[in-house]
Chain A
Amino acid sequence: MKYRIPHFFLILLTTWLVQVQLVQAAEPEPMVLTATAKGRSMEQAVEALSQAIVNHNYTFVRQQAMDSRLVPYEQEVRSVRLVYFCNFAKMNHALKLDPRATQMLPCRITLVETPSGVDLIAVNPAWVSQNMGNPALHAECETLKLDYLAILEEASL
Chain B
Amino acid sequence: MKRCAIALALALSLSARAEPLIVSKAVDMRQAMDDITLAAANHDLVLVKLQPIDTALAKRGFENPHIRILFIGSESAVRWAEAAEPRLLNLLPLRLTLMQREGQMTVMSDDFSPWLKEFPDAPAHLMIEAWQAELKAMLDDFVRQ
Contact = CB atoms under 8 A, between A and B. Distances in A.
B114 A127 contact: yes
B99 to A, nearest CB: 6
Contacts of B95: 102-103
Interface in B86-125: 86-87, 89-92, 95, 97, 99, 108, 110-111, 113-114, 118
A91 to B, nearest CB: 7
A131 B111 contact: yes
A99 B22 CA distance: 13
A88 B18 CA distance: 26
A16 B15 CA distance: 11
A133 interface: yes
B41 interface: no
B14 A67 contact: no
Bin the interface of chain B by size. 35 or more
Contacts of A122: 90
Interface stretch (B29-37, B52-60, B126-134, B136-144): B52-60
A95 B90 contact: no
Given A66-B78, A66-B92, A70-B75, 14 more contacts: A9-B4, A10-B3, A13-B8, A31-B87, A66-B82, A70-B78, A86-B56, A92-B63, A95-B53, A99-B65, A102-B108, A110-B90, A128-B114, A130-B114
Top-6 shortest CB links A-B: A102-B97, A70-B75, A133-B15, A92-B62, A69-B48, A103-B110
Interface of A: 6, 9-10, 13-14, 16-17, 20-21, 31-32, 64, 66-71, 77, 80, 86, 88-89, 91-92, 95-96, 99-100, 102-103, 105-106, 110, 112, 121-123, 127-128, 130-133
Interface of B: 1, 3-4, 7-8, 10-11, 14-15, 17-18, 20, 46-49, 51, 53, 56-57, 60, 62-63, 65, 67, 69, 73-75, 78, 82, 86-87, 89-92, 95, 97, 99, 108, 110-111, 113-114, 118
